Structure 1
Amino acid sequence: MTVLTVEDLTLSYRTGREWREVVHHVSFTLKRGEMLAFVGESGSGKTTTAQAIMGLLADNARRDSGTILLNGEAISQWSARRLDSLRGARISLVPQDPGNSLNPVKTIGAQVGEILTLHSKISARERDEQVLALLTKVGLSHPEQRMKQFPHQLSGGMKQRVLIAIAIALQPDLIIADEPTSALDVTVQKRILDLLDRLRRESGTAVLFVTHDLALAAERADRLLVFRHGEIQEQGATADIIRAPQQAYTRQLLSDLQGHALTIAPVSGQPLALAAIRVREISKQFSLGKGHALQALDCVSFDVRRGSTHALVGESGSGKTTLARILLGFEQADSGSVMIDGIDATHLSQEARRQLRRKIQFVYQNPFASLDPRQTLFDIIEEPLKNFEPVDKAERKRRVETVVRRVALSPELLSRYAHELSGGQRQRVAIARALILEPGILVLDEATSALDVTVQAQILALLQQLQQQLGLTYLFITHDLATVRRIGHSVTVLRNGRVVEHGTVESLFAAPQDNYTRELINAIPHFSPATEEFA
C-alpha cells in the first residue's frame, strides 16, 4: 500500500518582490513500512520538500504546482486547520534542531504528554505511564527524573530523543525525520534507527528520512532519492544506486564518503612530553532538585599533546560538553585540576580566565545558530579583536581579511550576513572568528555534525591544513567515530562521566579494550570502497 505520493511538486521562495523556484517538479512514492532517504548537500531542497508535505512551508514560500496524497487522499489543498488534525496523529515530524523545538517553560513529561492528551482520551495516570514508557523506549537515561526536568537541563542528544518520543507516540502512518540523529552519538543513533525500523515492521509506519549522512542513509533506507539544486538527480533501490550510480553528482557523494577512510595525519614534530591540555581527576556534579544529583564527571584525567588532535567520544550525557565548558572556564569543577598551555586554570580570577581564552577558543556545534544574524561577517570575526586587543581599525581590517583567506573564504563576503551563506561557509566563518586571536588550542564541539558529507570533508581537510600550518592543538568533541578515525591522533572514551578507554586512535580501532568501545565501533555505518557495499 502506498502511504505517500508526491507528483510534480514545484516550490518557490520570495526574496523581496521576486519569487525564486527552489524545488523543481519532484515526484516520488513511499510505501507502507518503507524508508525512503532524501540525500544531498545543504540547500538542495530536501527539507523544503519535507516541509511542504506537512504543510509547514515558511511564510515566504509557496507551492507553485504539484499534488501530495496521503493514503490516496489529496492533502495539498487542505487548510492549515485541517492539516493540524493530521500532524502527530497520521504524520509526525522529527525536526533537525532540538534546541529550538521544545517549549522552554514546560517540563519534558508535560510536552510528551501533550500529544497523547490532544489525540486520545486517557487519564492522567495512563498518560504519565505512557510518557515514561516512551522516554524509556527512546533510550533516555533516568526517564523518571527527565520527566520532571526542563529542556535547558538536557543535552542536545537528549532533547532529540524527547522529540522522537513525541513523534512515535501515536504510531503514525508516516514519520518525516529531518536529520533526526545528527545530534546523537553512534550508539544512541543506532538505537533510535533500530526503533524506527521496529516501528516500520510492527506498525507499518513509513519513514521519510532526510539526511546529509549518506553512509547512514545507505545502511538504513530501502530507497534513496538524491537531490541537487532542487532537482532529483536519481532515485531507486539503495543497493542499485550504491552499486552503480548513474549521475556524476551521486558518484561524487560516494567518493567524498570514502574520504572518511583516509589514514590519520601524522603529528608535526613535537616532543611527546609537551601537553597543551592536562586534565587531572576532574569531577562535577549537578543538582536535579529534591535531593537528587547527577554525577556528570567522575575523576576524569587525560593529556592532549601539543599540535595533535585529541577526540573526546561518548554518548550524549556522558560529560563531554561539561568537560569542555570547564576547560573554557564556563563551568567550575568540584574537584581536580586543569592546565592550559602550562597555566593552572583551575582557580583563576574572572579576568585571568577571560585572558586565558586568548589561548583556547571554542567552535560551536551548529553554524546555523552560533553566528549573530544582526552582524555582518566582518563584525562577527572582528569582535574578539575589539574585546581583547586595542589595535586600530586598519590593523583589524587587515587581520580579518587575512584570517578569512586562511579559511578559504573570499574577503568579498565580509559585508554579507550569516543567512546569506551556506552551512559550510558559516562554519568557516566560525573557525575564522576562533582563529582571529591566534590561539594555540581550539575546542571543536561536533563542528561538522550539521554539515552534509561533501562540506564535512572540506571542513575536515581545512582543519588538518590549519593544524599543519599553525601547529594548532584540537580537542575534538564528537559522536562520529568515522571522523575520529580520519583526523584524530589520540582519544578518550567517556561513559556516564567516567573514562572507559584512552589511547591512540590506531590502537583503539585495532584493539579496543572495553566492551563499550567495541559497541561504539560496531555501531558505525560502514562503507567498504573495495566492494562498494555498505555493511
Structure 2
Amino acid sequence: MTILSVENLTLSYRSGREWREVVHNVSFTLGRGEMLAFVGESGSGKTTTAQAIIGLLADNARRDGGSIRLNGEDLSQWSAKRLDSLRGARISLVPQDPGNSLNPVKTVGAQVGEILRLHQKIGKAECDQQVLALLTKVGLSHPEQRMKQFPHQLSGGMQQRVLIAIAIALRPEVIIADEPTSALDVTVQKRILDLLDVLRRESGTAVLFVTHDLALAAQRADRLLVFRQGEVQEHGVTADVVHAPQHAYTRQLLSDVQGQRLTIAPVAGRPLASPAIQAVGISKRFALGKGHQLQALDNVSFAVQRGSTHALVGESGSGKTTLARILLGFEQADSGEVIIDNIHATTLTHEARRQLRQKIQFVYQNPFASLDPRQTLFQIIEEPLKNFARISKAERAARVESVTRRVALPPDLLTRTARELSGGQRQRVAIARALILEPTILVLDEATSALDVTVQAQILALLQQLQQQLGLTYLFITHDLATVRRIAHSVTVLRSGTVVEHGAVETLFAAPQNDYTRELIAAIPHFSPLTKEYA
C-alpha cells in the first residue's frame, strides 16, 4: 500500500536575484512499513527533497512543479497552517542538525512533552511518564536527569536522540530521517535503527532515510534512490542496486565504500623524543542541578606520538568532546595535567593559551553552528590569518584559495555564505579554516561524520597526505570505528568518562580485550557487493 507518492518534483534556490534549479523532476513512492534510502553526495538534493515533502523548505527555496501526495491527498497545495497539523502527527522529521533544532531555553522533557500535549489530551503526570519512556527507548542515559536538562548540557549525539524521541512520539505514518544517526556511535546507531524497524513492523510506519552512508543504507533500506546534482541516477531494490548497479555514478559510490581503507603513514624513524599531546589523570565533573553531578571524565590518561593519528572513540556522552575542550583550553579540568608540544598548558595565561592555538587547531562536530552565517566562506577561512599572521591581503587570498582546493571545495563558492551550502560542504569549510594556519596538531571532533563516502575518502586522504608531508599530529574524535581503522595508528576507547581499552589500532581490532570494545566493533555496518553479501 502506497502512503507517500512524489511525482516530477522540481525545486529551486534563489542566489541573489537569480533562481537556480537544484532538484529536477524527482519521482518515487513509499509504501507502508517500507524504508526508502536517499543516497548521494552532499549537495545532491537529498535533504532539499525531503524538506519539500513536509513543507519545510528554506526561505530562499521554492517548489517549481510536481506533486506530493500522502494517502492520495496533495500536500503541495496545503497552507502552512494546515501543514502544521500534519507535522509530528502523520509525518515526522528527524533533522540533520540537532544544535539548531532544539529550543535552547526549554528543558529536554518540556520539548518532548510539547509534541504529546499538542496532539493528546493528557495531564502532566501522564505526559512525564510518556516522555521518560521515550527517552529510555532511544537509549538516552540517565533519562530522569536528562528530562530536566537543557540542550546545551547534552552532547551532539544525545541531542539527536532527543529529536528522534520527538519524531517517534505519536507513531506517525511517515518518518523522514535526515542523517538521523550521523552523530551517534555505532552501538546507539544500531539501537535507533532497530527501533525504527520495530515501528515499521508494529505500526506500519514508513521511513524515508536520507544518508551519506551507503553501507548503512544497504544494510537497512528496502530500496535505494541514488541522487546526483538534483537528479535520480538510479532507483531500485537495495540488493539489485548494490550487486548490479546500472549507473556509472552508483558504481563509483560503491567503489568508494569498498576502497576507503587507507595505507596508514609509517611513523617509524621520526623523532619521537616526547609526545605531541599528553593527558595525565584528567578528571571533570558537571553539576546537573539539585545536588546531582555527572562524572564526565575520571582519571583519563593517554599520549599521542608526534606525526601519528590517535583516535578517541566511545558512545555519545562518553566524554570525548569534553576531553578535547580541556586539551584546547576551552574547559578547565578539575584535576590532571595537559602537556601540548612540551608546554604545560594547564598553567598558561589566557594570552599564552591563545598563542598556543596556532599550533593546535580544532575542527568542530557541528558545522551548522560553528560557521558565522553573516560571513562569506572566504571571510570564514581567512579569519584565523587575520588574527595570527601578519601577511599581505594578496597572500591571504592565495592561501585561502589554496586550502579551499585542498578540501575539495570549488573556489567559486568562496563568495557565498554558509546557508547556501550542504552539511558536507560546510564541514569542509570548517576543515579548511583549521588548516589555514598550518598547525602542527589538529583535533578533529567527528570531522567526517557529515560527509558522503566519496568526499570522506578525499578528506581522509588529504589528512594523510598532509601528515606525511608536514609531520602533523592528529587527535581524531569519532564514534565511527570504520574510520578509525582506516586512518588511526593508536586508539583510546572511552565509556562513561573512563578508559576501558587503549593500544595500537591493528592490535585492538584484531584482538579486543574488553567486552564493550568487542560490542563496538561488532556493530560496524558493512557490506560486500563483490561477494553478494551485506549485513
Same fold (TM over 0.5): yes
- Give the structure 2 partner of residue 318 of structure 1: 318
- Give the structure 2 partner of residue 509 of structure 1: 509
Structure 1's 436 and 38: CA in aligned 2 closer, same or farther, altered over 3 A? closer
**Identity across aligned pairs (percent)?**
84
Q: Partner amino acid for 1:482?
A: A
Tell me, what secondary structure is at the counterpart of 1:375?
coil
- Give the structure 1 partner of residue 157 of structure 2: 157
Kindly state the Cα deviation for residue 423 of structure 1 after the two structures are TM-superposed. Answer: 5.2
Structure 1 runs of 4+ aligned residues shifted over 6 Å read none
- Give the structure 2 partner of residue 292 of structure 1: 292
Structure 1's 401 and 269: CA in aligned 2 closer, same or farther, altered over 3 A? farther
1:499 aligns with 2:514: no
8 Å contact 1:225–1:235 — kept in the other structure?
yes
Query: Where do 1:38-437 residues align within 5 Å?
Result: 38-267=38-267, 269-393=269-393, 396-397=396-397, 399-400=399-400, 403-404=403-404, 407=407, 414-419=414-419, 426-437=426-437
> How many aligned residue pairs are there?
535
Structure 1's 416 and 124: CA in aligned 2 closer, same or farther, altered over 3 A? closer
5+ unaligned residues in a row in structure 1: which ranges?
Answer: none
Q: Partner amino acid for 2:309?
A: T
Q: Partner amino acid for 1:37?
A: A
1: CA distance, partners of 2:441 / 2:284: 23
Q: Which segment is superposed worse, 211-220 or 270-279? A: 270-279
Structure 1's 361 and 527: CA in aligned 2 closer, same or farther, altered over 3 A? same
Q: Which segment is superposed worse, 90-99 or 4-13? A: 4-13
Structure 1's 507 and 376: CA in aligned 2 closer, same or farther, altered over 3 A? same
Structure 1's 142 and 60: CA in aligned 2 closer, same or farther, altered over 3 A? same
Kindly state the Cα deviation for residue 347 of structure 1 after the two structures are TM-superposed. Answer: 2.1
Tell me, what secondary structure is at the counterpart of 1:122?
coil
Structure 1's 262 and 24: CA in aligned 2 closer, same or farther, altered over 3 A? same
Tell me, what secondary structure is at the counterpart of 1:494?
strand
1: CA distance, partners of 2:435 / 2:478: 20
Tell me, what secondary structure is at the counterpart of 1:469?
helix
2: CA distance, partners of 1:377 / 1:65: 31
Cα deviation code 1:109-157 (max 9, x no counterpart): 1110011101011111100000000000000000000101111111111
Cα deviation code 1:377-428 (max 9, x no counterpart): 4433332233234445455455545555655667666555445556555444
CA RMSD of aligned residues (A): 1.9
Q: Partner amino acid for 1:179?
A: E
2: CA distance, partners of 1:357 / 1:103: 31
8 Å contact 2:43–2:425 — kept in the other structure?
no
Kindly state the Cα deviation for residue 430 of structure 1 after the two structures are TM-superposed. Answer: 2.8
Q: Which segment is superposed worse, 260-269 or 412-421? A: 412-421
Tell me, what secondary structure is at the counterpart of 1:128?
helix
Q: Which segment is superposed worse, 391-400 or 210-219? A: 391-400
2: CA distance, partners of 1:234 / 1:228: 9
8 Å contact 1:268–1:307 — kept in the other structure?
no
- Give the structure 1 partner of residue 442 of structure 2: 442
- Please report the TM-score for the alignment, with normalisation by the length of structure 1: 0.95
Structure 1's 213 and 412: CA in aligned 2 closer, same or farther, altered over 3 A? closer
1: CA distance, partners of 2:428 / 2:87: 37
Q: Partner amino acid for 1:194?
A: D
2: CA distance, partners of 1:280 / 1:116: 46
Structure 1's 409 and 9: CA in aligned 2 closer, same or farther, altered over 3 A? closer
Q: Partner amino acid for 1:506?
A: E
1: CA distance, partners of 2:108 / 2:380: 34
1: CA distance, partners of 2:170 / 2:408: 47
Kindly state the Cα deviation for residue 253 of structure 1 after the two structures are TM-superposed. Answer: 0.5
Q: Partner amino acid for 1:119?
A: H
Cα deviation code 1:76-111 (max 9, x no counterpart): 222221121111111111011000001111111111
2: CA distance, partners of 1:354 / 1:434: 14
1: CA distance, partners of 2:275 / 2:305: 4
Structure 1's 255 and 149: CA in aligned 2 closer, same or farther, altered over 3 A? same
Q: Partner amino acid for 1:242?
A: V
